[in-house]
């Protein structure tokens, strides 16, 4: 093999490696979810992550049930619009039920975040307090994805 073929081979390998690295940079996940953000910010250990994942599972189950009830109640409310005259008493009852369901959802959220606080170690509580200030933003469904920075 001549030196020229060796150099060409090395150049091709370097170009392929460079192209692969650029592909990986451009196709990395753009955002991390609230779960990962909380784990990172609170610096949870393996045991805490396991407990947290269990909490998340229960929280999601409870929230899904409330959201299903909320959806059904809203549908019932909107069905009243099909009638010639709106039954205002029935509409008011359904609106109260919607408000109650929404309050239940917020109670579930508060309980969930209190459970997260309870799995924090004393040295993690200052980070938890900082995180509380960002909870509404962190769980805003209309938020823009948080860009991950390269480390």
3-state helix/strand/coil string of 106-150: HHHHHHHHHHHHHHCCHHHHHHHHHHHCCHHHHCCCCCCCCCCCC
Q: Which whole number is the average pLDDT over 122-137?
A: 90
Which pLDDT score is estimated for 6? 77
pLDDT above 50: residue 143: no
Q: For residue 42, count other CB atoms closer than 10 A to its CB.
A: 22
Determine which of 27-31, 48-52, 124-128 has the lowest per-residue pLDDT on average: 27-31
User: Does residue 116 contact residue 52 with C-beta atoms inside 8 Å?
Assistant: yes
Distance between CA atoms of 120 and 104, rounded to whole angstroms? Answer: 25
* Measured distance CA(84)–CA(105) in Å, rounded: 33
CA-wise closest residue to 90 among 78, 101, 99, 100: 78
Predicted confidence (pLDDT) at residue 33 exceeds the cutoff of 60: yes
Tell me which CATH code domain 31-138 carries. 1.20.120.1490
- For residue 51, the tally of other CB atoms under 10 A from its CB is 15
The distance between the two most distant Cα atoms of the chain, rounded to a whole number of Å, is: 92
Domain boundaries, the chain: 1-30, 31-138
With a cut of 50, say whether residue 60 has pLDDT above it.
Answer: yes
Looking at the predicted structure, is the pLDDT value of residue 151 above 50?
no
| 54 pLDDT more than 70 | yes
Query: What value does the mean pLDDT of the chain take?
Result: 85
- If pLDDT is split at 50, 70 and 90, which confidence band does 141 have? low
What pLDDT, on a 0 to 100 scale, did the predictor assign at position 20? 73
pTM metric for this prediction? 0.69
Provide mean pLDDT across the span 118-126.
95
């Amino acid at each position: 093999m001549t030196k020229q073929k060796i150099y060409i081979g090395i150049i091709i390998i370097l170009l392929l490696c460079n192209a692969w690295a650029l592909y990986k940079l451009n196709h990395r996940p753009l955002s991390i979810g609230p779960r990962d953000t909380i784990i990172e910010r609170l610096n949870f250990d393996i045991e805490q992550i396991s407990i947290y994942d269990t909490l998340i599972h229960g929280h999601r189950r409870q929230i899904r049930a409330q959201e299903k009830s909320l959806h059904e109640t809203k549908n019932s409310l909107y069905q009243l619009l099909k009638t010639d005259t709106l039954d205002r008493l029935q509409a008011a009852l359904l609106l109260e039920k919607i408000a109650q369901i929404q309050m239940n959802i917020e109670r579930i959220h508060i309980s969930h975040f209190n459970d997260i606080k309870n799995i924090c170690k004393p040295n993690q509580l200052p980070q938890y307090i900082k995180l509380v200030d960002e909870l509404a933003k962190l769980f805003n469904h209309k938020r823009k994805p948080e860009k991950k920075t390269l480390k």
